Amino acid sequence: MEEKNIKYYSISSKDELDKIKLNLEKILEPTKQHVINKKQNNMYDDWNEYEHDKKKYNTLLEKIEKGEDLEINVFCAEINGKLVGHVFMVKGEQYIREFLDKIDYKEELKDIEQYAVVEAFVIQKEYRGIGFKMMYEYVIPNILKNEIKKVLVSSSHAKAFSVYDRAGKVIYEGFHLSDHKIYYRLSKRWLIDIEKVEENWKK
């Protein structure tokens, strides 16, 4: 895969709400393919990330349309016209407080307007070599341009735990039942100082 074939771009609900709403299916294609790959390789864990994210972001987009103080930024990676990866960033005091209330987080956040929730980081399996480049060369600089200093991250993918552990501090971990209450799955949440991550990466 040649570097020149990779195109990064972002879509913000602040300026392009209709573009996200009308293209959500296309934007979530990498997540959909992830679920298909799990099923094809007998790795399905009763956890349909595509359906979860589709429901979540449709709900958030509806809230924005009704005037709730929320902003969604989608950072995308495209190769030869095919969207192969995405990261969602959600800003909004109420959303952040709800995110923390779910884990009974008691510490008071100062300058909450400088926080965002970063989630749904997915790269299609055959393109995962671009994940590091996408995050450090495109996503993090753009998060900082949005005047965000700290991000909250949630993941239940064990392979990602060590990456987030190095980047920030764990503020929650617990087991959750899968979609049809068949399996328990470990979920963790982190608080990450984005400026420090960028600083360390440049060393």
Do 118 and 153 touch, CB atoms closer than 8 A? yes
**Could you report the per-residue pLDDT of 74-132, keeping only the tens digit for each?**
999 999 889 999 999 999 999 999 999 999 998 988 899 999 999 999 999 889 889 88
- Answer whether residue 57 is part of any domain: yes
- Answer whether residue 127 is part of any domain: yes
- Answer whether residue 19 is part of any domain: yes
- Answer whether residue 69 is part of any domain: yes
Is 157's pLDDT higher than 90?
Answer: no
**Could you report the per-residue pLDDT of 44-80, keeping only the tens digit for each?**
899 999 999 999 999 999 999 999 999 999 999 999 8
* Range of the structural domain that residue 44 is part of: 3-149
Is 2's pLDDT higher than 80?
Answer: no
Instruction: Work out the number of other CB atoms within 10 angstroms of the CB of residue 103.
Output: 16
* Predicted local distance difference test score (pLDDT) of residue 203: 66
* Predicted local distance difference test score (pLDDT) of residue 72: 97
pLDDT (average), residues 185-191: 96
User: Would you give the distance in Å from CA 182 to the centre of its chain?
Assistant: 25
Do 72 and 17 touch, CB atoms closer than 8 A? no
Is 3's pLDDT higher than 70?
Answer: no
For residue 32, the one-letter residue type is: K
- Answer whether residue 78 is part of any domain: yes
User: Would you give the distance in Å from CA 178 to the centre of its chain?
Assistant: 19
- Answer whether residue 156 is part of any domain: no
Q: What are the angstrom distances between the C-alpha of 176 and each of 18, 62, 186?
A: 34, 27, 6
Do 192 and 167 touch, CB atoms closer than 8 A? yes
**Could you report the per-residue pLDDT of 22-37, keeping only the tens digit for each?**
999 999 999 999 999 9
Going by C-alpha positions, the residue among 156, 157, 152 that lies closest to residue 168 is: 152
d(C-alpha 64, C-alpha 84), whole Å: 26
- Answer whether residue 25 is part of any domain: yes
CATH number at 40 reads 3.40.630
Assign 103 to helix, strand or coil: coil
d(C-alpha 38, C-alpha 45), whole Å: 8
In the chain, the percentage of residues whose pLDDT exceeds 90 is 81
Is 4's pLDDT higher than 80?
Answer: no
- For the chain, the domain total comes to 1
* Predicted local distance difference test score (pLDDT) of residue 1: 47
* Predicted local distance difference test score (pLDDT) of residue 132: 87
Is 134's pLDDT higher than 50?
Answer: yes
- Answer whether residue 43 is part of any domain: yes
Is 16's pLDDT higher than 90?
Answer: yes
The contacts of residue 187 (CB under 8 Å, 6+ apart) are 154, 155, 156, 172, 173, 174, 175, 176
